[in-house]
Structure 1
Amino acid sequence: MTASSPSSLRVAIAGASGRMGHMLIEAVLASGDCQLAAALDQPGSPGLGQDAAAFLGKATGVLIESDVRTALAKADVLIDFTRPEGTLAHLAVAAELGVKLVIGTTGFSDAQKAEIAVHAQKTAVILSPNMSVGVNVTFKLLEMAAKALQEGGYDIEIIEAHHKHKVDAPSGTALKMGEVIAEAQGTQLADRAVYERFGHTGERKPDTIGFATVRGGDIVGDHTVLFAGTGERVEISHKSSSRAGYAQGSLRAARFLAGKTSGQFDMFDVLSLR
């Protein structure tokens, strides 16, 4: 069984059979202040009924299950890196039970984000397109650079690369980078973003923010923002070599929520970067 104490934070993991789920489970088991309380996966998953830490050769006594309500009843917080529809279904139950949620899922529509905000009135939620501490520090650096380089004709391009299994593009992190830059310059990303270039595009339009997407192999996640000026260019990059950074950031987020009862937050709140 997992070690626990009266002060242990009871953590449930969604998508427990997946790569990110495995990384999160390993991080929880290695922590000194969190307890693996439940492990969720979708009906039909071959992992159902197995010990959540079987991939590590360990026995925790926590079996992977598909009943959301039963799983969440055992937890203080759920960490969810699944798909938008699944995350929203989990959040609806979590809000009803008063279970907090750390959301690392990306690809939400504006309507789905609005739905998250409604549930956050009943329970505490952290929504961030990237849980990595390093990535969020990068967001802060981009904010500073965007303000300093707003004048001088610097063209902004965002290049991101991920593994071949990723289903949304551009990545949520790349989009967040664009939003941070646009907001720092007093604008909206929707008014400046260019997501596709093909054929005779003409000259680059001033003040646009371009996106380029790469998908292939097992790339965990690379992001580079290029500020290209006359006679110089500034590049701010973050590269992930494993998902461990996302897992550790998620646990920091879960600990942050321990003192909250409701409201929507992000990693800037967790890391005091505002």
Structure 2
Amino acid sequence: MINICLFGASGKMGKAVISASEDNNDVNINNFIVRETSDNLNKDVGDFHFGISSENNFESYPSKDFDLIIDFATRDHIEKRVEVYKTLKKPLIFCSSGLDESQMMHVKNLSDDFPVFIAENTSILMSLMKEAAIKTKKILAERNYSLSINEGHHKDKLDIPSGTALTLCDALEIGSEAVNSIREGDNESFHEVTFSTDYGDQLHIKHSGKRRVYAVEVLNIAKWFYQKPKNLYYMQTLIEDLHE
């Protein structure tokens, strides 16, 4: 059993991860972390998310021993969280998005002391979609075409474009101005890369998923990542390891 400390436990993804863990016999979330200034601090986790009382409360610092950290908190106060991670010295699966380059570098530098897995998007299918887009661009290198990205998330998502969309931009070597962002609804997200030729031919490569997808996948990552040696890991690292 892998005991997990969940940062961002009162958020929508926190709720999804907690729910998914109930159906997974290999993991157990035993620390539910929120900001020390959060209105949800000390509230009952089960009652807050599911209307059922539990033995767990939201805390600002872990009170029980655990094996690894999953961070789905927002980018706010990331510098303070990095200092907490330095103190805890536990393997970290970092899923927050919207960080600037300097903030992300602070997170990556933690891998000098303990394992760090960077996963702005935890879906393996999303990673495969990115690889398909990269391969398509290489094949079309000698053709005249345009390239654009459409992405959509729930109305409360803070970063525009999404971290995943910016990762796609980097992988495809295009600027963020090529991204069209939609913020509406409450749950399902999507990313779509469109290749268009000047003679009317189009290819759409699309991934979509609801919160439960990313929650189930991050727990799968946890099982793979648990007890890995000190290093910096990405979704591509996992895929290459699983499919050697």
Q: Distance in 1 between matches of 2:54 and 2:146?
A: 52
Contact 1:163–1:219 under 8 Å retained in 2: yes
Deviation at 1:32, TM superposition (A): 0.8
Given the alignment, which residue of 188, 192, 196 partners 1:224? 192
Output aligned runs, 1:11-30, within 5 Å: 11-30=4-23
Secondary structure, aligned partner of 1:120 = helix
User: 90-99 or 113-122, which moves further after superposition?
Assistant: 90-99
Q: Do the aligned partners of 2:153 and 2:189 also contact (CA within 8 Å) in 1?
A: yes
Q: Unpaired segments of 5 or more residues in structure 1?
A: 1-7, 183-191, 196-209
Q: Which residue of 1 aligns with 2:56?
A: 62
User: Which of 71, 76, 94 is residue 67 of structure 2 equivalent to?
Assistant: 76
Provide the residue aligned with 1:35 in structure 2: 28
Deviation at 1:45, TM superposition (A): 2.9
- Within a 5 Å distance, the mapping from 1:173-252 to structure 2 comes to 173-182=164-173, 192-195=174-177, 210-229=178-197, 230-240=199-209, 242-252=210-220
Q: CA deviation at 1:250?
A: 0.8
CA RMSD of aligned residues (A): 2.0
Secondary structure, counterpart of 1:269 in structure 2: helix
TM-score in terms of structure 2 length: 0.90
CA distance in 1, matches of 2:223, 2:78: 20
Count of residues paired in the alignment: 240
Counterparts in 2 of 1:98 and 1:39: CA distance versus 1, 3 Å: same
What is the CA deviation profile of residues 62-120 of structure 1, one whole-angstrom value per residue up to 9, with x for unaligned ones? 321112xx34x622111111122434433332233321111111111111122112211
1:50-199 equivalent positions in 2, closer than 5 A: 50-54=43-47, 55-58=49-52, 60-67=54-61, 70-71=62-63, 74-182=65-173, 192-195=174-177
DSSP-derived class of the 2:169 partner: helix
Q: How many Å separate the matches in 1 of 2:167 and 2:176?
A: 14
Decide whether aligned partners of structure 1 residues 87 and 30 sit closer, same or farther in structure 2, where only a CA change above 3 A counts. farther
Q: Structure 2 counterpart of 1:24, which letter?
A: V
Alignment-derived partner of residue 256 in structure 1: 224
Q: SS of the counterpart of 1:238?
A: strand
How far apart, CA to CA, are the structure 1 residues paired with 2:30 and 2:232? 23
Give the deviation of 1:126 after TM superposition: 0.9
Deviations 1:163-203 (A, max 9, x none): 22111111111111112222xxxxxxxxx4152xxxxxxxx
Q: Which residue of 2 aligns with 1:4?
A: none
The structure-2 alpha-carbon separation of the partners of 1:53 and 1:261, relative to structure 1 and needing over 3 Å to count, comes to farther
Please give the per-residue CA displacement for 1:176-231, whole angstroms capped at 9, x wherever unaligned. 1112222xxxxxxxxx4152xxxxxxxxxxxxxx1111122325312111000133
Counterpart in the other structure of 2:238: 270
Q: Is the 8 A contact 1:133 1:245 kept in 2?
A: no
Q: Deviations over 1:132-179 (max 9, x none)?
A: 222112112112212112220121000111222111111111111112
For residues 57 and 176 of structure 2, what CA distance do their matches in structure 1 show?
A: 46
Preserved CA contact (<8 Å) 1:155 1:228: yes
What is the distance in 1 between the residues matched to 2:222 and 2:33? Answer: 17
TM-score (norm 1): 0.80
Alignment check: 8 A CA contact 2:2 2:26 kept: yes
SS in 2 for 1:26: helix
**Cα contact 1:161–1:219 (8 A) shared by 2:** no
Letter in 1 for 2:195: F
Would you say the 8 A contact 1:122–1:262 is kept in 2?
A: yes
Residues 262 and 91 of structure 1, relative CA distance in 2, 3 Å threshold: farther
Q: Distance in 1 between matches of 2:208 and 2:92?
A: 26
If you compute each CA radius of gyration, which structure gives the higher value, 1 or 2? 1
Identity of aligned residues (%): 25
2: CA distance between counterparts of 1:139 and 1:157?
Answer: 13
- The letter of the residue matching 1:175 is L
